[in-house]
Chains A and B, each alone.
Chain A
Amino acid sequence: MEPVVQFDNVNKSYGGYVAVENLNLSIEAGKFVTLLGPSGCGKSTSLRMLGGFERPTSGRILLNGKDVTRVPPNKRNVNIVFQDYALFPHMTVAKNIAFGLELKGFDNQKIHRRVSELLELVQLEEYARRLPSELSGGQRQRVALMRALAPDPDVLLLDEPLSALDAKLRQQMQIELKSIQEKTGKTFMFVTHDQEEALTMSDTIVVMNKGRIEQMGDPDTLYGRPGSVFVANFIGETNLLRSTVLGMDGDMTTLSWNGITITASQGGLAPKLGEHLYVVLRPEAIHCSVAEPASGNRIKGKIRQRVFKGNHTSLMVDVGDGTLLNTLVHPSEIAHLSGENIWVGWKPETATVIPDRHAHN
């Protein structure tokens, strides 16, 4: 099937500053795709280029196979949910949602039906005659979403729409957004710097850094097998163990780290003997115990810091020479770890090697 959106070698620079570099990206219909990255990584610029508000310096953008690179925003069938919603303050909720439909030339009856249908979808039927200023943040968010969905766009673009909401409401909206996306079957292109949002909602996450795609994949893959130090650090909490390759055994690699020998999954990489690599080890993959584990990677350590986080406790364990491992301990186990000296252990397949970017460059 033909992708809905295609970025074909798209570049965008402002003067000497390169905002987006050689962007190649295809988005399939009906998917929830998230562009994730720190501010200035080019994610918002990419979204604005697809919306028609920025023109690429070079390259092409295709919408349903048609080149729309030079088509103005009002002539392309994509709609944006803006960061601060941008609801028209002088129009009621219903008028806001109807705006795009009126401009498409629909008759009043059809507009009315579509507006009520959409309001029903987000349970805002009673608010049709209210002004945006009379709504709560979450309600405005929903109206903005419905206004953008109303004209039935090929792709719905969402520019950090949850960043203005408080933490609790944000989590609730994440679930709601995902369910609306599933109900409507629309293609969503979501932009955020919040890795948790990206992990919760996306079918595909595109991690961007310095104007380029760093890695692209489903949330599981990105979390479990990050392709670079940047991705590993950006998504979730992580321990990066700088190690030297000692040997290979099937899918596994033996490495020397911190004076001991450990084993980790190759994760699609072909390590060379003697090469310096990083091993990605998530805090929740580590098991802390008083007795030495019978198998797997293990090392002795001293607890340096305990941080109570409610549903778990985070332990910082010194495993020699000040090297700290961030570990996560379940409440039922923390009682056994009252002393300072403990063992930390993890199964080899829960850790993956990734290249040391700096060693290559």
Chain B
Amino acid sequence: MRAMFSDAPRVTLAAFYWAFILYLLLPLTLMMAMSFKDANFVAFPIGDWTFDWYGEVMQDKQFLEACLYSIMIAAATTLAATILGVWISMLIVAEGIRGQVIIFALACLPAVVPGMISAISLRIFISTIDMPTGTAAIILGHTVHAVPFVVVMALTRLRSMPGNLVDAARDLGADSVVAFFRVTLPYLGPALFGGMIFCVLLSIDDFVRTFFLGGYRLTLPMLIFAKVQGGMSPEINAMATLVLVVTAAVGLYAEHLTRRARTR
């Protein structure tokens, strides 16, 4: 009796754990399973299995175009957000600049503003300055959203940087530009790489901002949204599965790289 009572909390805890794992993985597993179904509709039982939907997706011009467009936007966003983010974090750690707390708070604001609010305000902003919706507007919106993540990652690393590394570079003949590119930037490297991967994923994943700021070209999430409205089909499942596998792989690889760099 006694043994049963003392085991009870542990068993309950384990049960919750497995229930949570199931809740986490079941929808994803179902989605992936359906992408292999040899039929035109999404429902159980699966019956015959096939890879045909993947073949179809790979030949779907719309899908490939949307992929390319999303990647292009993600690349531009990452570049812009990294430059801005590093610049802002350098400003925050620099000596003799006032209002650094305010700079930090402002830089981080877009991370906590609800996506919807941010999307609407940006839409109003671009129409006020007569900027057309489309690629540039999307990149603008994604960059605003991504900068805080770069700032936080770069700052963490910058704050752990021994102050006299830059002094040493200056002492050995580097002006401040050379010291930045040859010492500070490489030192930031691993953290920055992690931040950049995060920017890519944020941008590719974004729907709300893109929806408000986009033109006629569809990004990947918008394409999938459009397709879902036309009814679920295993082709959508195949698309989503591809996106899931690729992003998970990129994320894990990035984590692996930054962890290795950190142990150095």
Contact = CB atoms under 8 A, between A and B. Distances in A.
A73 interface: yes
B192 to A, nearest CB: 12
A51 B174 contact: no
Of the listed residues B164, B173, B186, B187, the one surrounded by the most CB atoms of chain A closer than 10 A to its CB is B173
B172 interface: yes
A239 to B, nearest CB: 41
Interface string A35-79: 000000000000000011100000000000000000011110011
A103 B182 CA distance: 11
Contacts, number: 67
Indicate the size class of the contact surface on chain B. 10 to 19
Interface in B148-198: 162, 164-165, 167-175, 178, 182-183, 186-187, 189
A104 interface: yes
A80 to B, nearest CB: 5
B264 interface: yes
Contact of B162 (A86, A133, A147): A86
Nearest to B185: A90
A182 B152 CA distance: 49
Contacts of B170: 52-53, 72-74
A74 B264 contact: no
Nearest to A88: B183
Interface string A20-37: 000000000000000000
A84 B173 CA distance: 19
Given A51-B171, A74-B170, A99-B172, A82 B178 contact: no
Interface in A100-140: 100, 103-104, 131, 133
Given A74-B175, A86-B164, A90-B189, A99 B169 contact: yes
Interface in A190-219: none
Given A74-B175, A103-B173, A133-B264, A90 B168 contact: no
A161 interface: no
A53 B95 CA distance: 14
A89 interface: yes
A82 B171 CA distance: 10
Nearest to A105: B173
A345 interface: no
A151 interface: yes
Interface in A171-204: none
B171 A80 contact: yes
Contacts of B178: 103
A89 B264 contact: yes
Contacts of A89: 165, 187, 264
A80 B174 contact: no
Contact of B167 (A73, A87, A103): A73
Contacts of A53: 167, 170-171
Of the listed residues A72, A79, A88, the one surrounded by the most CB atoms of chain B closer than 10 A to its CB is A88
Interface in B89-107: none
B184 to A, nearest CB: 10
Contacts of A82: 164, 167-168
A74 B187 contact: no
Contacts of B171: 51-53, 73-74, 78-80, 148
A131 B165 CA distance: 15
Of the listed residues B162, B168, B174, B186, the one surrounded by the most CB atoms of chain A closer than 10 A to its CB is B168
Nearest to A53: B167
B167 A74 contact: no
A100 B172 contact: yes
Interface in B29-81: none
Contacts of B264: 89, 131, 133
A75 B167 CA distance: 13
A147 B172 CA distance: 8
A88 B167 contact: no
A217 to B, nearest CB: 30
B154 to A, nearest CB: 16
Contacts of A148: 171-172
A75 B169 CA distance: 12
A74 B174 contact: yes
Nearest to A133: B264
25 contacts: A52-B170, A52-B171, A53-B167, A53-B171, A72-B175, A73-B167, A79-B171, A79-B172, A82-B164, A83-B164, A84-B164, A86-B162, A86-B167, A87-B168, A88-B165, A89-B165, A89-B187, A89-B264, A91-B186, A100-B173, A103-B174, A104-B173, A147-B172, A148-B172, A151-B173
10 nearest CB pairs, A to B: A100-B172, A103-B173, A86-B168, A86-B164, A90-B186, A73-B170, A74-B173, A82-B164, A80-B171, A74-B170
Given A52-B170, A103-B173, 14 more contacts: A72-B175, A78-B171, A79-B172, A80-B168, A82-B168, A84-B162, A88-B165, A88-B187, A89-B165, A90-B186, A91-B186, A99-B169, A100-B172, A131-B264
Interface of A: 51-53, 72-75, 78-80, 82-84, 86-91, 99-100, 103-104, 131, 133, 147-148, 151
